[in-house]
Amino acid sequence: MLARLAENLFWYGRYLERSEDLARLINVTSHLNLDLPSGISAGWEPLIRITGNAPLFNDLGHPTDETHVVRFLLSEDSNPNSLKATLEYARENLRSARDLVPKDGWEQMNAVYLKSTEQLSGKLSKRRRQDFLEELILDCQQLAGMFQGTMSHDHAYDFILIGRHLERSDMITRILEVRGYDLLPETAEDLGPFESIQWMSVLKSLTGYQMYRRHVRSRVSGSDVLRFLLRDGQFPRSVMFCLLVLEDLIEHLPGDDDRSLRIVTRLQRLVNETEVKNLRGQRLVNFMDQLQIELAGTDRAIRQTWFGSES
């Protein structure tokens, strides 16, 4: 398989995962603001920080209200990380490698892109926005399932999975960094009201609420949520699960110089050995920053080894 096509599939996996994650974040934030009592809001500005778009958003001078933040994240032409742009990138990367994937998968991706572009070109009411995002989440999951069930599980498929799990682990750390900093201050006396409701929203943004209640079986608390989303090796949207998948996939690829594998195993040790109960305030931010730096290093090592790319 040509390095260029492998890279296309890698980025298709990343962009499809990013689209689903962004859709879920916006919907969960909408529900959270409805669940909180009148006069209390989780705000929309954290979504700008989670997605790493604060500098661009601030340069545009938009207020951080729901209307402007959601429009920026969904369809702002000047935002290269908008949902509209991300879906276009996913489609274009899959189109470039469509000879390696099932025809039905390419046609489904193209249909999802065209349908979403049409919806995002108009004005979405809150009700229509919720329906659109829920449908998009299902479309992304259907695409993932279609490839799992109809595509040969060879190296081409491996690169899709590597892209998906690298993107997913990065998003988990971003959510935990931003939400955790607000919800886990340096001292317990500084805890804000309705903490449990907001931690529930963190779990729901990663579709983890039901599995958390099944396995942890305690009231929703910050340290337990952190431990579950960082270390649970059986939940598909935990950092550890993603790292275990990445380790297995990278080990079986040809031509690895061990750089990416060493980083992944170092990340596993870091996640396992860190005392979660001590992650509060700036310590939590520093820890998540460290994970993100290591994940970025994994990305660079993968691209240098298999794609000959560093950009």
DSSP state of 192: P
Instruction: Domain of residue 86: give its range.
Output: 1-150
Both 174 and 286 in a single domain? yes
User: Do the beta carbons of residue 201 and residue 222 sit within 8 Å?
Assistant: no
Where does a domain end: 105, 128, 150? 150
Read off the pTM: 0.93
Q: Which residue has the tokens 């700036």?
A: 282
pLDDT in tens, the chain (311 residues): 689 999 999 999 999 999 999 999 999 998 887 777 766 667 899 999 999 999 999 999 999 999 999 999 999 999 999 999 999 999 999 999 999 999 999 999 999 999 999 999 888 888 899 999 999 999 999 999 999 999 999 999 999 999 999 999 999 999 999 988 878 766 554 445 567 888 899 999 999 999 999 998 778 888 899 999 999 999 999 999 999 999 999 999 987 668 999 999 999 999 999 999 899 889 999 999 999 999 999 999 999 999 987 65
Both 140 and 8 in a single domain? yes
CA distance readout (Å), 55 to 26, 60, 79, 175: 19, 9, 11, 18
Where does a domain end: 150, 165, 181? 150
Cα(212)–Cα(218) distance, integer angstroms: 9
Both 109 and 162 in a single domain? no
Both 67 and 20 in a single domain? yes
Both 193 and 128 in a single domain? no
